Structure 1
Amino acid sequence: MLSLLLLQVLASCLWLGHSEVVTSFESSCPQFFFRKTPPNEALEPENPAWICQRYKNQYYFATLYDRSRRIPVYSAYLYQPAAGKRPNTWLVEPQLIGPTYPKTMEREWTLLNDFSISVEEIGKHQAVLQDYKNLTGLNRGHLNPSSHHPDSSSRTATFTLTNIVPQNEKLNGGSWNNYEQQTMIRNTQGCNNTYVVVGAVPGNNYIAKGRVNKPSYIWASACCEVNTSHRKTWAVIAENDRDEVELLTLGELEDTLTLLYGRSRVSLFDSGCPRI
């Protein structure tokens, strides 16, 4: 019986994705940031988790996560869109429960049944599926969207609740979707590599009886390498209760986030990315 249980656990680990809570992005998964430079400390929450999001033994993006508000601060990735099916599974992060748990994205069902972890333990420092049920006017909004990735594995990796915020459903399906699907295609014409950082500014409201923060703003930024000597940038921001996206320069977004966070000066990319 014990050997059968071990085989079941092993099979689930082999099938499911891998992600890892690390001490820094620079030392673990720097490839998702231009010149291996993540955003500076001005965005860091009081209780952060740095997650290198890995699936089927490959890293696909990086997420700075707020354990207390149970939402991502930002997700960073390389823009590589392609046609494909939208995944239909949702995953959570076992290492947000504790460092002794597997470095694997897992389904809640797997943690409940194969690892005997309670929903309360899973949800202590992260959102769970129940938090996003019975929402009114909001839905699960990806920071790193699955459509910006080239294959099934990379798209499935984005379907972790550590990459999700409560987003206004009209915005998510309207102007924000237009930005993700249309503006990004136009802006990346001629780009060899496009580095993207998408984030959420915490708000004053919560869902799920105070468990999960509803962001006040959703924002996105990109730095595109046209060639070794030429780069271009752009950015957007949207209030999370209106179906409207404002197009900004990178410098304007950093100015806005500096005011919204009220801390030190925000820097989202290495200085080699133009601010105007």
Structure 2
Amino acid sequence: MLLLLLLQVLASCLWLGCSEVVTSFESSCPQFFFRATPPNEALEPESPAWICQLYKNQYYYATLYDRNRRIPVYSAYLYQPGPGKRPKTWLVEPQLMGPTHPKTMEREWTLLNYFSVTLEQLSKSQAILQDYKNLTGLNRGHLNPSGHHSDSSSRTATFTLTNIVPQNEKLNGGAWKNYEQQMMIRRTQGCNTTYVIVGAVPGNNYIAKGRVNKPSHIWSSACCEVDTNHRKAWAVIAENDKNEVQLLTLGELEDRLTQLYGRDQVSLFDSDCPRE
């Protein structure tokens, strides 16, 4: 009887695409990581949530979310830029409230009006739209930017509050934007597949009456497969109160994050990605 039940659960997962909030990236959405290897545990917060970001029944990227600070630790995706409009609708992650809620990201309004969810329930599990209103000198900074995706659905999937942090508005619209839009194009020349992980280092300050952490640093790393035998990697980091981006090797970023987090040595990609 138990075996039959397990088979039914497995079948439903295969048919629907299992829960968006998962137990590990290796088993649920490994395709967003080089060699199916996510970063090691050195970045994990006290209360983590592993999210395979699901929209219209398709996974578009992976996010490690910090439930206590209500910001993503990192988002991992494949770099596949294309032309298109910037989405306007902001979404939230229902399953952070529990596995009985919808597994695909939804608008706040939809949850409140069609799923008997209260704003208090939603706000306990994650950041909400109200948290990002009336900001001074900060705006909603994407970790996984919509411009790095090729179609409407994949771009819309980046417009979830589980993929953004309070980012310095000059940095977000200046040096960081230049990195996302200009430097990435130059750096990915000759790449067949580019795996990207963008993250935020928690800071000492908060917005929304202490609800949402303002990161001290924003960082990005990439591992590019040129062909079967050749790979290249690069990274950047920025302090979240200056309009400056520092270009690093992958190894330099991992060492810097190890210092900033003060835990074990950070490893962002499989060892076959060059560190120098």
TM-score, normalised to structure 2, is 0.93
Distance 1:272 1:123 in 2: 40
Match of 1:147 in 2: 147
Aligned ranges 1:98-109 → 2 under 5 Å = 98-109=98-109
Q: Contact 2:111/2:117 (CA < 8 Å) preserved in 1?
A: yes
User: 1:19·1:93 contact (CA, 8 Å) conserved in 2?
Assistant: no
Q: 1:221-254, CA deviations, whole angstroms, 9 ceiling, x for partnerless residues?
A: 0000000000000000000000000000000000
In 2, the alpha carbon distance for the partners of 1:135 and 1:88 equals 18
The answer to whether the 8 A contact 1:97-1:122 is kept is: yes
Q: Which moved more, 1:18-27 or 1:251-260?
A: 18-27
Distance (whole Å) between structure 2 residues aligned to residue 64 and residue 124 of structure 1: 17
User: Paired residue for 2:262?
Assistant: 262
Uncovered stretches (5+) of structure 2, i.e. residues with no partner: 1-17
Q: Is the 8 A contact 1:235 1:249 kept in 2?
A: yes
The Cα RMSD (Å) is 1.1
Q: Which residue of the partner structure matches residue 117 of structure 1?
A: 117
| 1:189 counterpart = 2:189 | yes
Q: Which residue of 2 aligns with 1:49?
A: 49
Asked if 2 retains the 8 angstrom alpha-carbon contact of 1:82 and 1:148, the reply is yes
Note the C-alpha offset of 1:19.
6.9
Letter in 2 for 1:189: Q
3-state DSSP of counterpart to 1:155: helix
Cα distance between partner residues in 2 of 1:190 and 1:54: 30
Q: Which amino acid is 2:74 matched to?
A: Y
Q: Once the 2 structures are TM-superposed, how far is the Cα of residue 115 of structure 1 from its aligned partner? A: 1.2
Whichever residue aligns with residue 33 of structure 1, its letter is F
Whether 1:32 aligns to 2:39 is no
Q: Counterpart of 2:105 in 1: which secondary structure?
A: coil
Tell me the residue number matched to 1:3. none
Residue 226 (str. 1) matches residue 226 (str. 2) = yes
Please list every run of 5 or more consecutive structure 1 residues that lacks an aligned counterpart in the other structure.
1-17
Taking structure 1 as the reference length, the TM-score comes to 0.93
CA contact (8 A) 2:57 2:104 kept: no
Query: How many angstroms apart in 2 are the aligned matches of 1:66 and 1:19?
Result: 18
Question: Alpha-carbon deviations, 1:235-274, whole Å to 9, x = none?
Answer: 0000000000000000000000000000000000000000
2:56–2:104 Cα contact (<8 Å) kept: no
After superposition, the C-alpha distances for 1:134-184 in whole angstroms (9 at most, x for unaligned) are 000000000000000000000000000000000000000000000000000
Contact 2:95 2:102 in 1 (8 A): yes
| 8 A Cα contact 1:236 1:245, kept in partner | yes
Give, as a single letter, the amino acid of the residue that structure 1 aligns with 2:82.
A
Query: What amino acid is aligned across from residue 238 of structure 1 in structure 2?
Result: A
Matched-pair contact (CA < 8 Å) for 1:26–1:36: yes
Match of 2:15 in 1: none
Alpha-carbon distance in structure 2 between the residues aligned to 1:56 and 1:121 = 24
Give 3-state SS (helix, strand or coil) of 1:147's partner: helix
Q: Work out the percentage of aligned pairs sharing the same amino acid.
A: 84
Q: How much does 1:102 deviate?
A: 1.1
